[in-house]
Amino acid sequence: DVKVTQSSRYLVKRTGEKVFLECVQDMDHENMFWYRQDPGLGLRLIYFSYDVKMKEKGDIPEGYSVSREKKERFSLILESASTNQTSMYLCASSFWGVEANQPQHFGDGTRLSIL
Amino acid sequence: AQSVSQHNHHVILSEAASLELGCNYSYGGTVNLFWYVQYPGQHLQLLLKYFSGDPLVKGIKGFEAEFIKSKFSFNLRKPSVQWSDTAEYFCAVNANNQGGKLIFGQGTELSVKP
């Protein structure tokens, strides 16, 4: 069974702090994704990565950066946390497929509160 | 820009009632379609998917969905819901020229009363 593990279920940080959210998958997936989930807005893609050291902006990358130094690990970084980044953050991974139809597997999420 | 629209924000049903959740997308090319479910306190998991072939797809737990290309729709159905179906349901679309990216709808919260 695919396992996507996010380092924290709950996290509380202060405005202006640099915040790191970590995600590890154990299925040798090429693709990894970071989303934020907000009520009434569904999931919105922040960043994704198709391979080590590769990253692509999603729909809402402002205020975030990512790092993928190893295939199994994908980190989301809030450079200077702000209250509007309070949200549930979801990590996902999938195989790369020629027709891009591989389903994504999700972690349990990190509920981040910025005070 | 591509978008996915789920028409119902919150649906409340009694057990044994039939369910249909609407999903429409805006993209004119070839698409892959997914429904995900998030049970309370759990991670999102795949309910069913459509890539090609028979437009009526069956998923886990008695769910099915029908792809109607002319209507750009992929509605989720279940003939008789159970209390354990209480969850949030997300429709998602991937276009074949967009790599592995998914565009998600806003989600529909389903509450089933025992």
Q: Collect all residues with Cβ–Cβ distance below 8 Å to B70 and sequence separation of at least 6.
A: none
Pairwise CB contact (< 8 Å): A104 & B100? yes
Pairwise CB contact (< 8 Å): A90 & B96? no
CA-CA distance, A5 to A74, in Å (whole number)? 11
Check: CB of residue B92 under 8 Å from CB of residue A28: no
CA-CA distance, A91 to A75, in Å (whole number)? 9
Q: Is the pLDDT of residue A100 over 60?
A: no
Q: What is the pLDDT of residue B96?
A: 67
Distance from CA of A41 to the nearest CA of B (A): 5
Angle CA A82–A86–A87, to nearest 5: 145
Q: Is A16 on the interface with B (CB under 8 A)?
A: no
Q: Is the pLDDT of residue B52 over 70?
A: yes
Three-state DSSP class for B76?
A: strand
Pairwise CB contact (< 8 Å): A103 & B49? yes
Hey, how many other C-beta atoms are within 10 angstroms of the C-beta on A53?
9
**Segment A81-92, tens digit of pLDDT:** 999 999 999 999
Q: What is the mean pLDDT of residues A70-81?
A: 97
Distance from CA of B105 to the nearest CA of A (A): 6
Three-state DSSP class for A84?
A: helix
A:35-94 residues touching chain B, CB 8 A cutoff: 35, 40-45, 48, 50, 58, 90, 92, 94
Give the nearest partner residue to A99 out of B36, B42, B96, using CB atoms: B96
Q: Is the pLDDT of residue B69 over 60?
A: yes
Pairing mode, strands A10-13 and A110-114: parallel
The DSSP call for residue B70 is G
Three-state DSSP class for B40?
A: coil
Q: Is the pLDDT of residue B7 over 90?
A: no
Q: What is the mean pLDDT of residues B32-55?
A: 93
Q: What is the pLDDT of residue A23?
A: 97
Residue A16 C-beta-side C-alpha neighbours within 13 Å: 0
Pairwise CB contact (< 8 Å): B100 & A43? no
**Segment A11-68, tens digit of pLDDT:** 999 999 999 999 999 999 999 999 999 988 999 999 999 999 999 999 999 999 999 9
